[in-house]
Amino acid sequence: MAQPDAVEFSYFQEQLMLTQKMVALLRYSFERTTPIAPLFETENFSTQINMEQAEILEGLTARFARLADTLTQKLFRAIDALELTDEGSLIDRFNRMEKRDIVTDAQTLIEMRKLTNKIAHDYVLEDLIPLYQSVFHQCDMLFNVVDAIANYAREQGWA
């Protein structure tokens, strides 16, 4: 394999480091959300949480969306650039992540992207329970993707 371009290599390393910092923040929010998670299953969830709990859930949701966007818009593209891969569509990028064994199924990234779009565009106060549940349950997948990227980078000699 050809040596990666120095600028692209530096950009990849910068994005990987930024992503790992974002993971630490998301993990913090995830851990703060864990005690609230059983309330997702209650009938009157929105009336049972207090303002502090609502703020914790908002933090989790925002950090999830930022990390997911950074992965898809920056880190995945940086990997493609290092490997001199034509960009193609977002689905193409997700399929390449599956081929690289960064995810076991590209569909999980598609579901993550749909959730991120829902957070950004369809955020309605009446429908927060399913949104919070989905974000909470997809956090582990995001953590695993970042770990897999770090492992892939080591295998490629980039880290």
Average pLDDT over residues 127-132: 82
Burial 133-153 (b: 16+ CB within 10 A, else e): ebbbebbeebeebbebbbebb
**Residue the block writes with tokens 């920056």:** 74
Does the pLDDT of residue 86 top 90, yes or no?
no
- The model's confidence at residue 79, banded by pLDDT at 50, 70 and 90, is very high
Query: In whole angstroms, what is the distance from residue 148 CA to residue 71 CA?
Result: 12
Residue 1 belongs to some domain of the structure: no
Residue 132 belongs to some domain of the structure: yes
Which pLDDT score is estimated for 2?
52
CA distance to 1, 94, 153, per residue, from 82 (Å): 10, 16, 11
Does the pLDDT of residue 1 top 60, yes or no?
no
C-alpha closest to that of 99 among 83, 115, 117: 83
Residue 115 belongs to some domain of the structure: yes
Residue 53 belongs to some domain of the structure: yes
Does the pLDDT of residue 57 top 70, yes or no?
yes
Average pLDDT over residues 126-143: 89
Does the pLDDT of residue 148 top 80, yes or no?
yes
The total of structural domains in the chain comes to 1
- The model's confidence at residue 125, banded by pLDDT at 50, 70 and 90, is low
- Residue-averaged pLDDT of the chain: 92
First to last CA, the chain: 16
**What is the value of pTM for the model shown?**
0.92
**Residue ranges making up the domain that contains 55:** 6-156
Give the CATH number of the domain where residue 74 resides: 1.20.120
